[in-house]
Amino acid sequence: MTNILRHPLTLDGRDATQLRGDPITGDRYTSPAFAKAEWDHMWTKIWHVAGRLADIPESGDYLVHDFMHESVICVRQDDGSIRAFYNVCGHRGQRLAANSAFAPDGFRCPYHGWLWGIDGILKDLQDPEDFPQGNPCGKLSLAELTCDTWGGFVWYSLAEKPQPLREYLAPLPDLYSNYPMDTAVLVFGLKIRLNTNWKFATDNFSESYHTRTAHPQVPPWIDQDVDSARHEMYPQGHGRTVQPMRPSLTDRLPDGEPHPFDYILRQWNIDPESYSDFETKAMQGWLDLKAAKKRLWRERGFVHYERMNDEELTDSPHTVIFPNVTLSYLPDNLIFFRTEPHPDDPNKCTFDLWLMAYPVEGMDEVESIMAGPRPLREAEIEVRDFDGGAGVPEIDGQIVYQDMMLAENQQRGMHSRGYRDSYLAAQETRVRFFHEVLNDYLEGRR
Ligand code: FES
Ligand SMILES: [Fe+2]
């Protein structure tokens, strides 16, 4: 059917017999002690996304990433590399930088004015001779962290000696080498404060079983029939669901209602009326769409298709990176979702939504999934309260909005004495897998 080979690290994401069966109890979502254990044994070991490479093109450009009570600066060096430092002054501990910005001369501390170079070394201070222990200029350095890049993102780890990023992410860098991820432009971005535990999003993005109920607009567009999907999980804790972007055969729109698949076929010069019936249109139309994209991408300016294979041109690998990042790969869009815990309250998190689109030659506007047509240029990320949905009207009724509407009531359920463990379908195996990998960290097995 396609030219896709299973990566050798792939485990069947629909086979729960590979799991221990650890219970997914409510306290994991509500207990401050559990959140503390996550910080001590997991968040301080894994890799975090500080931000996007596109935001720090020049030497002196830097990202600030606040996480729990910690804050990290990732700054572009003169030689083009990126280094990460704790955002804390080596004099008496003041936070150095509030927001991502540009500081070609380095970071001037707002307290006593010490100036730290972008290489982390102290390069100026008042009264340098007043230090009986010696002038620290040129000697003291900010505390440094390990930093690396992949997929157009800047990553860092709080661990002393982290596993190398590509090993940590395996096999995702292999799986997604055909997508020019670092060319994607962020056309819409929000950071949303949400009243739920951060794990809601990873649970939620690890299964598509909720899609028919929660997202009724999706089945005519991405096939939700359980046997059409490929469920994969990988030893490092990541996983994905690959679904064909064609109508599910069991979901029909009422006769006469405009069908989103017809619209997509027409975009690629295929007449939806040329098929004898709905099944043929869904199945043969999907194959014809692959062929049309392969024939027409260059003349249409879809340069990001250049290396994509048959599956990537028309399918949707929805990918969870342990523990808190989800990347949704679509032929023309790349969507980044992430939740991060509130520093003190396990009932709260922030939800990052970055809608990115690949540039198409000759187009200055792109169609973005969930935010509609957007100018093809880097957008500012806004911070909002979800506020029961009222805080994010631009995405009212969209997939991620529907998920967030469920998130806060899910959190209420986690507090109930009536909830003891999940009772999972095979297609939800990755939900428990996620919790078992988390337990591996908390219990010292990773
Ligand atoms: S704390 Fe930064 S200069 Fe004093
Ligand atoms: Fe969802």
Complete DSSP assignment for 383-401: EEE-GGGTT-GGGTTSHHH
Q: How many CB atoms lie within 10 A of CB 138?
A: 12
Distance CA 396, CA 375 (A): 20
Look at residues 214, 98, 188, 184 and name the one whose alpha carbon lies nearest to residue 384: 188
Pairing of strands 372-375, 185-194: unpaired
Both structure tokens of 76: 């572009």
Distance CA 147, CA 371 (A): 32
Q: How many CB atoms lie within 10 A of CB 219?
A: 20
CA dihedral 253→257→262→263, nearest 10 degrees, is -120
**Is the pLDDT score of 1 beyond 60?**
no
The shares of helix, strand and coil residues in the chain, as percent rounded to the nearest 5, are 30, 25, 45
> What is the 352 CA–ligand 2 centroid distance (Å)?
15
Model pLDDT for residues 54-69, shown as the tens digit of each residue: 999 999 999 999 999 9
- Atom 1 (ligand 1) nearest CA: 92
> What is the 109 CA–ligand 1 centroid distance (Å)?
6
Check pocket membership of 92 for ligand 1, CB cut-off 6 A.
Answer: yes
Which ligand approaches the C-alpha of residue 213 most closely?
2
Probe residue for ligand 1, chosen from 96, 108, 109, 115 as the CB with the greatest number of ligand atoms within 8 Å: 109
Question: What atom of ligand 1 comes closest to residue 96's alpha carbon?
Answer: 2
Check pocket membership of 114 for ligand 1, CB cut-off 6 A.
Answer: yes
- Atom 3 (ligand 1) nearest CA: 112
Model pLDDT for residues 162-199, shown as the tens digit of each residue: 999 999 999 999 999 999 999 999 999 999 999 999 99
Which ligand approaches the C-alpha of residue 92 most closely?
1
Check pocket membership of 89 for ligand 1, CB cut-off 6 A.
Answer: yes
- Mean pLDDT computed over every residue of the chain: 96
* pLDDT score, position 2: 41
Model pLDDT for residues 8-34, shown as the tens digit of each residue: 999 999 999 999 999 999 999 999 999
Both structure tokens of 271: 């007449």
pTM, rounded to two decimals: 0.97
Q: Which amino acid does the sequence have at 84?
A: A
The beta-carbon contacts of 395-398 under 8 Å, at least 24 apart in sequence, are: 395/190, 395/353, 395/370, 395/371, 398/370, 398/371
Tell me the Cα Rg of the chain. Answer: 24
* pLDDT score, position 19: 98
Look at residues 42, 22, 53, 233 and name the one whose alpha carbon lies nearest to residue 153: 53
Question: What atom of ligand 1 comes closest to residue 92's alpha carbon?
Answer: 1
Model pLDDT for residues 76-102, shown as the tens digit of each residue: 999 999 999 999 999 999 999 999 999
> What is the 85 CA–ligand 1 centroid distance (Å)?
16
Probe residue for ligand 1, chosen from 86, 107, 111 as the CB with the greatest number of ligand atoms within 8 Å: 111
* pLDDT score, position 4: 56
Check pocket membership of 415 for ligand 1, CB cut-off 6 A.
Answer: no
Q: What's the residue count for the chain?
A: 446
> What is the 57 CA–ligand 1 centroid distance (Å)?
28
Which ligand approaches the C-alpha of residue 406 most closely?
2
Q: How many CB atoms lie within 10 A of CB 278?
A: 15
Contact yes or no for 235/167 (Cβ under 8 A): no
> What is the 204 CA–ligand 2 centroid distance (Å)?
6
329 sits in which H/E element: strand 325-329
Distance CA 444, CA 45 (A): 11
Which ligand approaches the C-alpha of residue 114 most closely?
1
Overall fold of domain 47-157? Rieske Iron-sulfur Protein (2.102.10)
> What is the 10 CA–ligand 2 centroid distance (Å)?
24
- Atom 4 (ligand 1) nearest CA: 112
Which ligand approaches the C-alpha of residue 214 most closely?
2
Question: What atom of ligand 1 comes closest to residue 94's alpha carbon?
Answer: 1
> What is the 344 CA–ligand 1 centroid distance (Å)?
26
CA separation, residue 307 to residues 60, 119, 336 (Å): 33, 37, 21
Complete DSSP assignment for 97-147: -SSSEE-TT-EE-TTT--EE-TTSBEEE-S-GGG-TT---TTT-B--EEEE
Name the band, by pLDDT with cuts 50, 70 and 90, for residue 114.
very high
Residue that has been written with the tokens 């006769």 in this structure: 255
Check pocket membership of 110 for ligand 1, CB cut-off 6 A.
Answer: no
Architecture of domain 11-44+171-442: Alpha-Beta Complex (3.90)
* pLDDT score, position 255: 85
Domain map of the chain by residue range? 11-44+171-442, 47-157
**Is the pLDDT score of 304 beyond 90?**
yes
> What is the 129 CA–ligand 1 centroid distance (Å)?
16
Model pLDDT for residues 381-402, shown as the tens digit of each residue: 999 999 999 999 999 999 999 9
CA angle 20, 26, 29 (to 5 degrees): 100
Contact yes or no for 326/319 (Cβ under 8 A): yes
> What is the 210 CA–ligand 2 centroid distance (Å)?
6
Residues 6+ positions from 398 with CB-CB distance below 8 Å = 370, 371
> What is the 29 CA–ligand 2 centroid distance (Å)?
19
Q: How many CB atoms lie within 10 A of CB 78?
A: 11
